[in-house]
Structure 1
């Protein structure tokens, strides 16, 4: 059953907010006020289609589902870069409501509306049905069109096709490329492809999602041209073009500030290159090496489809030959060291080594793979990879020895590598059921970066080590005082296990025997974590006690007070202490409003809605009017903020529009 026009008129701001969010609503409202929505039509199923002027003209379709148990639900599809549930959809909805309120019912979509065809081209979006008031004819099918054309003369078909070329440049371009190839002028088409590729990659790509403005290169023409070249059997030339496209495209993405559109387009072009590699005259070994070269330093996964070639089945001889070549390359690359003589990762060598090891494994040369892995760890610091390789092959003792060496030889600036090596050592200890080692590692992580998640991981690990109670007591004391229980307070060095602290020292790096900086760890109470734990344990009284204590001592623990999630505190005490929740929400609303940032005004509305809900639930309606009056007195000169506040009491969009 089609959605009625009245259903659109009864929509609320709350429904829009749950659909797209406050910021998108604000942008969509701007577009609607600026008159950017044109040619609004109603479809037979009750959905609406419009053309919205943004950076370009975009076609937008919005559907309304009133059958959902959870309430009314909106959804939209748009030809803009965002694609779904965007500001253009919001603008279309607001235009629909505004027209209805003005007594202007939108016309029904006609069967010949070109936007109908445009939306139908996207196979992920069902085409809207024409309104019952439109033509009663059935939609013409592809089969009917084919049968109709079959009866036409050759001359008429040529005339029709030439008209299509005039109306749609992309059709003319595709046919022109085919003519060029058919006439034997392949070099000309290839030169045009290179010229277009270099022109596109030289453009500056940028897109401002807030304003909806930007300049983005369009690779669709190049992609079609590459497909034409591939279909004509010129795979080898496409592979060469792909190498240059990868270099130039990566540089363009590095320079750009877009929404990922350029990456997506380049990925589609590289998919054609991946197909070209398979169809090229290269040997299997060369195909693997070309795929590796294209995947090297691919920070944006532009060549993801090319890298998938490594997962395909290739002859062992091809893998073996590729491995030999990669090993030669590997040994020609420098092994970087830092000024102190410690090895540090060399990315290109790391990637080449990983591919060489993969190739060796694929052809059954496992022992060589292990040898290279260990050698690279000692030469270039690739300890994580080598330890995992040894563990996978069952060489646990050798893996553990290498992991400890990695801790000693990895510079402290590479904290991530050190952390992963510690985790691998903990995994090896767990295999032997030496549970205190992974517990000690969890403790070190927790002390270095206190968090609710880290606290829970520590308790889980200490439970396996049968020392949960003592560990929990010590860990909570650390959160309350900031003093680590595993340190000798005189020398500030990590101690061995004691009655107060049952865990051994964690496997550490070069700083294992160095004093721990007191200023680094004695940072006062970690109120943010304590409050997070009390919320998780559903202890509202304790949550408020900690919250009040943190605020009272904010000067002594400024950093941790700033990290307190005040909105989570308010939400956790809404039922038990509604007056405190109201106080916190109101305080946050005032704080955000004082920033004079139009982009954050929707947050003020969110906070005030919660204040209103709690006040009405607790029979304190009169206070709401006073709060609104106070806000309008303080911030009356901020029209955008006033619009947000006005919506709270006039949730129905149509009624708030009438007040404009």
Structure 2
């Protein structure tokens, strides 16, 4: 069995190449989007049992959709390199979280242990295969560059659209109608978009729902290009229809489509060799998270809906929605109701082979946050004490005890 040994000394810290990393270095390595996604993971304590190999490679468990083994190394020749057992394999938000956690350890002079070669995380990472690592690292780097470009284009489109407002306001009704017809003739998607808007305006909700479900079904197996190099995916109409549905007062109908859309995304992402589908599906799901508060679901039901989506999510598509959830200002009574529901789910949860009760552990983390927001802090340490021997989450318990200055109990 692998054992942690040795601690990072101040002398080692001064010569540690990681200590010289800047935020710009991280963004250059992983891209600003992935770095942004990795930061909440580190802040929320998703990085567990951080350690180093004899060669200086960082190794940790990172809690995401599942528990992933993640490693990061820094060399003068190649810079930052990473590997992860998540679906992206290499430069991912989990790797970013590991680096950020290590930098925090350096900042606070927290010791980081050294592991042996038979550490189970290293064995899991070896199973990925060097060839796969190199391919996925290249693929994700390309993905991040594409995301940067798309983000820049999106901002540019918004600013250009806003600049057209004065011109459009000067036009007569007849001139605007002529302009729209001209656009419809020039762009195939415009007539369909207008038809959707007309259907919503006339109350034909079922017709739009049928259209949305057809769009979702069509996305399950994307259309390949003429050279069979990579499949094409266009979610523009779907996103517009979901927004239109919510604007027409049908937020409930839009929200009910969430699990169906997420399942389709998981299927489609199996065909995604270029890393472009994740952002497209995330954008569509973000529409649902944004309109959730307009639905008729109670606040507690809204929270549970987001958590269920996050539990079912295999690719981090719901990360933004989950992050938004904890920022919402629900009443303490609502968070208290959520706490009771989560406690019941934990009580009835079943073991998951090979994952060390991962789902139960994640539910417990969420319950702790809900208890904090409900003002029921006194229940947190007893909860951690009950869960520690079940999910081996002793580190969480110790952290909570130390935060309360219960030193003797923390040392046991």
User: Could you tell me the TM-score, scaled by structure 1's length?
Assistant: 0.37
Map of 1:362 onto structure 2: 373
Distance 2:259 2:305 in 1: 9
TM superposition shift of 1:126: 12
4+ runs deviating over 3 angstroms: 80-86, 118-127, 335-338
Alignment of 1:379 with 2:398, yes or no, is: no
Please name the residue that 2:167 is paired with. 145
Aligned with residue 155 of structure 2, among 98, 123, 130:
123
SS at match of 1:149: coil
Question: Root-mean-square deviation (CA), in Å?
Answer: 3.4
1:178-577 aligned within 5 A: 178-203=197-222, 213-253=229-269, 255-307=270-322, 308-335=324-351, 345-401=356-412
Q: Is the 8 A contact 1:320 1:360 kept in 2?
A: yes
Cα 1:392/1:252, change in 2 over 3 Å: farther
Q: 1:337 to 1:226 in 2, by over 3 A?
A: closer
Q: Is the 8 A contact 2:246 2:291 kept in 1?
A: yes
Shift of 1:160: 3.3
Distance in 1 (alpha carbons) for counterparts of 2:401 and 2:224: 45
Aligned pair 1:170/2:170, yes or no?
A: no
Deviation at 1:248, TM superposition (A): 2.4
Distance in 1 of aligned mates of 2:395 and 2:224:
37
Query: Are the counterparts in 1 of residues 371 and 377 from structure 2 also a CA contact under 8 Å?
Result: yes
SS, match of residue 230 in structure 2: strand
- Verify the 8 A CA contact 1:374 1:386 in the aligned structure 2: yes
Q: Which residue of 2 aligns with 1:161?
A: 180
Where structure 1 has 5 or more consecutive residues not aligned to the other structure, the ranges are 1-79, 87-117, 128-140, 339-343, 402-660
Query: Which region of structure 1 is more displaced relative to structure 2, 297-306 or 264-273?
Result: 297-306
In 2, the alpha carbon distance for the partners of 1:280 and 1:271 equals 15
Displacement after TM superposition at 1:252 (Å):
2.9
| Secondary structure at 1:362 match in 2 | helix
What is the aligned partner in structure 2 of residue 586 from structure 1? none
- Residues 205-254 of structure 1 show CA distances to partners (whole Å, capped at 9, x for unaligned) of 89xxxx9941131112211111111111111111111122123213432x
SS at structure 1 position matched to 2:155: coil
Q: TM-score normalised to the size of structure 2?
A: 0.58
- 1:202 is paired with a residue whose SS is coil
Call closer, same or farther: CA 1:193–1:147 in 2, change over 3 Å.
closer
Distance 1:196 1:346, change over 3 A: same
The residue that corresponds to 1:494 in the other structure is: none
Distance 1:324 1:119 in 2: 40
Shift in alpha-carbon separation, 1:120–1:376, aligned structure 2, 3 A = closer
2:306/2:321 contact within 8 Å kept: yes
Distance 1:264 1:119, change over 3 A: closer
Contact 1:227–1:272 under 8 Å retained in 2: yes
Larger RCO of the pair (alpha carbons < 8 Å, separation 6+): 2
Counterpart mapping for 1:610-629 below 5 A:
none
* Residues 370, 390 of structure 1: 8 Å contact kept: yes
